[in-house]
Amino acid sequence: DAGVIQSPRHEVTEMGQEVTLRCKPISGHDYLFWYRQTMMRGLELLIYFNNNVPIDDSGMPEDRFSAKMPNASFSTLKIQPSEPRDSAVYFCASSPPLRGYNEQFFGPGTRLTVL
């Protein structure tokens, strides 16, 4: 099992540019989560999907952020336009069908730097 796959691993862009982060969850998992981690705010949930449908997007900071999950094996997080304060590590995680507890498997993260 390859685990959760994220790309790119590192992204450096200039303010105002569009950024797209990608995630491939573990096969068979039906939940997908996007988190953001910064020194100031720690690890915070942005949005999560169940069976490709967004369930809770209350953590999405503003309209510049959007996430999609067109199928069970792919999700994107897009920032348009990007700003320096968006610099962070973005993690994708997936979770198998519920078994009464919440074991999430995290990817290696994408380190985003907006200049």
> Which spans of this chain sit near other proteins (rule: CB under 8 A)?
4, 31, 33, 42-45, 48, 50, 55-56, 59, 91, 93, 95, 98, 100-109
Question: Which residue's CB is nearer to other proteins, number 33 or number 65?
Answer: 33
Shortest Å, Cβ 42 to other proteins:
6
DSSP, residue by residue, 51-69: TTEEEE-TT--STTEEEEE
Residue 69 or residue 93: which is nearer to other proteins going by CB? 93
How far is it, in rounded angstroms, from Cα 77 to Cα 19?
Answer: 8
Nearer to other proteins, 70 or 100 (CB): 100
> What minimum distance in Å lies between the beta carbon of 73 and other proteins?
18
Least CB distance from residue 81 to other proteins, whole Å? 27
